């Protein structure tokens, strides 16, 4: 919460400027700080049905704030139209989001493979944040136990830099002008590696490419 507040202030924003928080799934690295947010603010929290039930089991105080959303259908958050789409991950339900206003932003991380549903959610977006989780060689040579490596490499794990590069090309060809690489593993990847792999694939395409830093906000400059 302290970090989020600092990032908001850096952008000239405050808690009262937030119309809602969109949850992708209930893994701890995606809901850290949610309990404090519920205690200290009145901001509504949006999540699909199964994710919502999982969170309520951990945070009963969330009940009055929780808004259960349909997947594959648009709903409103403030002046924006939002649609959730499923991502294949090692949990009962995980989603990405497409947000439409004056332009279109889409986000998809925590996906072991790229499905038709994901492509429908991402294609045509002006800007996207997609997962570039690991470098294959670093993962294979790294300290993780074999079962964990196998899980990460599965269709319900995480996208590698190489897989992210292929997806980035498809998005660029659909008109996406800005791509942000995110959800990088600290143990099995480096921002320079992710950028190098994806930028090489995008060599002949006019795309603004960024990599979200492990700590702190990303300042987008064009």
> Using CA atoms, how far apart are residues 28 and 38, in angstroms rounded to an integer?
16
pLDDT, residue 222, reads: 52
Q: What is the largest CA-CA distance in the chain?
A: 51
pLDDT, residue 19, reads: 94
> Using CA atoms, how far apart are residues 150 and 71, in angstroms rounded to an integer?
29
pLDDT, residue 221, reads: 64
> Using CA atoms, how far apart are residues 122 and 128, in angstroms rounded to an integer?
7
SS3 content of the chain, % helix, strand, coil (to 5): 35, 20, 40
Which segments in the chain show pLDDT lower than 50?
none
> Rounded to the nearest 5 degrees, what angle is found at the Cα of 186, between the Cα atoms of 132 and 127?
30
pLDDT, residue 218, reads: 85
Alpha-carbon separation of residue 81 from 39, 78, 96, 165, 177 (angstroms): 27, 8, 14, 28, 20
The CATH label, of 1.10.1060.10, 3.40.309.10, 3.40.630.10, 3.60.15.10, for the domain at 103-214 is 3.60.15.10
Helix runs in the chain, H state only: 2-10, 28-31, 34-40, 49-58, 116-122, 136-141, 146-153, 161-173, 191-201
What pLDDT digit, counting tens, does each position of 31-65 carry? 888 888 888 889 999 999 999 999 898 888 899 89
Question: In 3D, which of 213, 167, 163 has the Cα closest to residue 191?
Answer: 213
């Amino acid at each position: 919460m302290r970090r989020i507040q600092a990032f908001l202030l850096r952008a000239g924003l405050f808690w009262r400027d937030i119309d809602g928080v969109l949850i992708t799934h209930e893994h701890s690295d995606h809901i850290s700080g949610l309990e404090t947010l519920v205690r200290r603010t009145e901001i509504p929290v949006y999540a699909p049905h199964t994710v919502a039930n999982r969170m309520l089991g951990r945070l009963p105080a969330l009940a009055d704030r929780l808004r259960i959303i349909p997947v594959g259908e648009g709903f409103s958050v403030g002046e924006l139209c939002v649609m959730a789409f499923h991502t294949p991950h090692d949990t009962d339900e995980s989603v990405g989001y497409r947000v439409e206003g004056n332009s279109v932003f889409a986000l998809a991380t925590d996906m072991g493979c790229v499905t038709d549903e994901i492509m429908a959610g991402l294609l045509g977006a002006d800007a996207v944040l997609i997962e570039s989780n690991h470098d294959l060689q670093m993962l294979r040579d790294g300290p993780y136990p074999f079962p964990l490596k196998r899980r990460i490499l599965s269709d319900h794990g995480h996208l590698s830099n190489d897989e992210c590069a292929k997806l980035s090309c498809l998005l660029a060809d659909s008109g996406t002008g800005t791509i942000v690489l995110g959800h990088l593993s600290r143990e099995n990847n480096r921002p320079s590696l992710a950028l190098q792999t994806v930028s090489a694939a995008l060599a002949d395409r006019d795309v603004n490419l960024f990599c979200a830093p492990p700590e702190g906000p990303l300042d987008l400059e064009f």
